[in-house]
Amino acid sequence: MATENLDKQKTIDLRKKHVGPSCKVFFSHDPIKIVRARGQYMYNEKDEKYLDCINNVAHVGHCHPDVVEAGAKQMELLNTNSRFLHDNLVLYAQRLQATLPEKLSVCYFVNSGSEANDLALRLAWQYTGHKDIITLENAYHGHVSSLIDISPYKFQQMACAEPSQHVHVALSPDIYRGKYCEDHPDPAIAYAENVKDIIEQAHKKGRKIAAFIAESLQSCGGQVIPPVGYFQKVAQHVRNAGGIFIADEVQVGFGRVGTHFWGFQLQGEDFVPDIVTMGKPIGNGHPMSCVITTREVAESFMSSGMEYFNTFGGNPVSCAIGLAVLDVIEKEDLQGNALHIGGYLTRLLYDLKKRHLLVGDVRGRGLFIGLDLVRNRDKRTPATAEAQDVIYRSEQFKPPMCFSREDAELVVEKIDQILTDLEKTLGLQMSEALISENGHTKRKEPSDENGLVHPSIGSSHKNTGTLPHDKKTKKRLKT
């Protein structure tokens, strides 16, 4: 490891010289240099503390000692490929399977969410013999070329923003800002009908659907929580067309939604995807990931005659780390914590909405929460510039799962202050009438069901969400 400690400017200079300029840092005008982290806290080179509100990779907390120990011990003993038998591989596969419906029983271990989603496409193509993929507006599924193709969030950044011929973009099931909102009698069916229409259009052109892919809750795409029943209906349409359903759990899986271990389970027990892909939180930062599918899909993939070999995937170190992460989630009841602290944070944010015109919507599940900032509540005009420039995208919360009540209070206090300053600058002020009306929406107050608000939609940006502690807040955290 690096024994030198570079001056921050030297780090910046070397980065400019030797790291791809497409690889952005947070706060590019004054980037943060983090040198250590623990739990939900990160520290810069001056030992100043930051509260990490968005790192859904450091799932069980930065540098969790159990995870570090498991990794270090296995590194000392053996790290080789999966062409040899190893207990870690099979025990881990068994443990992961146990979190899922029984028919999702066959695992492929890979190194990243991107590798997982690309493999999911390969499985779908082989199993169905079809080529076309239906993806959602604003979706992001990874950085390899096949996934840029199915990620409007990415390909729309390009000059040529047209999707590839085999890619169809469906409406995002967004009931706050989408085509069918919470006042629609059945947005789940309405949004699923859009997928059905797409399939019919594709069939007219002689094209065939291999798969529908969606995050179980859209993350980069704006913290969108699909209405219950949507996935069931979509799966029905897609399967009728000979395609399969891929649930992308890369960002939202592993207990984050609080009530369930997987995001797709929010849709109800009658919904089972054909493929589930995992990623970010799975190894608490260790590069690993997994695809789980049915025996039928797996057998079909084998029948192509092509071996699947992934050099690093499923190595004993990755599996040891994956097992340790599952152990910690269980031992520390982090899913329960996500439910309770997530609910508490949501309620605090909902209180903010009562006092700040800029807050258009608060929505979330467990510790996956979005704060939707608007310029105009009636028109629901996104306050993109405000969110980006002032709060610097801190409108999305997906912190390490060990987040505490005090952390939640600190975050909300900070946001309250920022919103107050911002509204002063913008000349926005809430009238007495508005305060009593509490916004105009027909939506319910946050219910106590799961300690969370009812479904709705989200902000449209990734965020950094690291919150610098000033002295006052540092003191608070220490008490």
Residues 254 to 293 in contact with a second copy, rule: CB under 8 A? 279-280, 284-288
Q: How far is the CB of 14 from a second copy (least distance, A)?
A: 4
Task: List phi, psi (to 5°) of 365.
Answer: -140, 120
Q: 263 or 314, CB closer to a second copy?
A: 314
Q: Does 154 bind a second copy (CB under 8 A)?
A: yes
Q: Could you give the angle at which helices 230-240 and 187-204 cross, rounded to 10 degrees?
A: 20
- The closest of 368, 363, 339, 82 to 249, measured between CA atoms, is 368
Q: 355 or 462, CB closer to a second copy?
A: 462
Q: 218 or 450, CB closer to a second copy?
A: 218
Q: Which of 264, 301, 368, 403 is in the footprint of a second copy by CB under 8 A? A: 301
Pairing type for strands 396-397 and 368-376 reads: antiparallel
Q: Which of 32, 189, 428, 434 is in the footprint of a second copy by CB under 8 A? A: 32
Question: Which residues, numbered 87-146, are part of the site for a second copy (CB under 8 A)?
Answer: 87-94, 97, 105-109, 111-115, 118-119, 121-122, 125, 143-146
Question: Which residues, numbered 59-78, are part of the site for a second copy (CB under 8 A)?
Answer: 62-63, 65, 67-68, 70-78
Q: Which of 12, 228, 426, 428 is in the footprint of a second copy by CB under 8 A? A: 12
CB–CB of 370/376 below 8 Å?
A: no
Q: 142 or 187, CB closer to a second copy?
A: 142
Q: Which residue has the tokens 């992460």?
A: 325
**CA dist., res. 159 & res. 161, Å (int):** 6
Q: How far is the CB of 177 from a second copy (least distance, A)?
A: 23
Q: Does 86 bind a second copy (CB under 8 A)?
A: yes
**CA dist., res. 30 & res. 452, Å (int):** 36
Q: How many residues interact with a second copy (rule CB under 8 A)?
A: 117
Q: Does 315 bind a second copy (CB under 8 A)?
A: yes
Q: And the tokens for 468?
A: 């610098």
Name 396's bridge partners. Answer: 370
**CA dist., res. 94 & res. 76, Å (int):** 24
Question: Which residues, numbered 439-478, are part of the site for a second copy (CB under 8 A)?
Answer: 464
According to DSSP, residue 142 is labeled: -
Q: Does 392 bind a second copy (CB under 8 A)?
A: no
Q: Does 252 bind a second copy (CB under 8 A)?
A: no
Q: How far is the CB of 276 from a second copy (least distance, A)?
A: 14
Q: Which of 48, 49, 81, 351 is in the footprint of a second copy by CB under 8 A? A: 81
Q: 87 or 445, CB closer to a second copy?
A: 87
Print burial letters for 383-408: b (CB count within 10 Å at least 16), e (below 16): beebbeebbbbbbbbbbbbbbbeebb
Q: How far is the CB of 171 from a second copy (least distance, A)?
A: 24
CB–CB of 410/51 below 8 Å?
A: yes
Q: How far is the CB of 160 from a second copy (least distance, A)?
A: 10
Q: 112 or 223, CB closer to a second copy?
A: 112
Q: Which of 139, 214, 324, 348 is in the footprint of a second copy by CB under 8 A? A: 324
DSSP H or E run through 71: helix 65-77
Question: Rounded to whole angstroms, what are the CA distances from 430 to 215, 293, 351, 379, 460?
Answer: 36, 51, 14, 16, 24
Residues 346-385, one symbol each (x = binds a second copy by CB under 8 A, - = not), give ----------------------------------------
Q: How far is the CB of 369 from a second copy (least distance, A)?
A: 20
Burial of 97 (0-12, 13-18, 19+ CB in 10 A): middle
Residues 156-185, one symbol each (x = binds a second copy by CB under 8 A, - = not), give -xxx--------------------------
Contacts of 5 (CB under 8 A, 6+ apart): 45
